[in-house]
Structure 1
Amino acid sequence: MAISAHDPQDRVEQLILLTDRLTELVAQAAQAFEQRRPQDAAIHVGETARLANLYRHESARVRANPELVAAAPLVLRTRLIRATEAFDAVLARQGRAIEAARIITEGLVRAIADEVAVQRAKGLSYGPDATTSTTGKATAITLNQRA
Structure 2
Amino acid sequence: MTAAETATLNATARVRQMIDLTERLTARLAEEAAAFETRRPQDVAATVGQTQDLANAYRRESARIKAAPSELAPAPAEERKRLIAATQAFEAVLSRHALAVEAARIVSEGLVKTIAAEVASQRGSPSAYGASGRASAADGRAVAYNAQA
TM category, shorter: 0.7 to 0.9
Q: Aligned-pair distance for 1:44?
A: 1.9
Q: 2:113 matched to 1:103?
A: no
Structure 1 residue runs of 5 or longer lacking an equivalent are: 1-5, 128-138
- Distance in 2 separating the partners of 1:123 and 1:10: 70
Correspondent of 1:46 among 49, 52, 61: 49
Equivalent runs, 1:1-147 vs 2, <5 Å: 7-122=10-125, 124=127, 140-141=142-143
- Distance in 2 separating the partners of 1:93 and 1:64: 28
Q: Percent identity?
A: 53
TM-score, normalised by the number of residues in structure 2:
0.78
Structure 2 residue runs of 5 or longer lacking an equivalent are: 1-8, 132-140
Q: Aligned-pair distance for 1:123?
A: 5.1
TM-score, normalised by the number of residues in structure 1:
0.79
- Distance in 2 separating the partners of 1:42 and 1:27: 15
- Distance in 1 separating the partners of 2:52 and 2:113: 31
- Distance in 2 separating the partners of 1:118 and 1:126: 20
- Distance in 1 separating the partners of 2:42 and 2:126: 42
The structure number with the bigger radius of gyration is 2
Alpha-carbon RMSD across the aligned residues, in angstroms, is 2.1
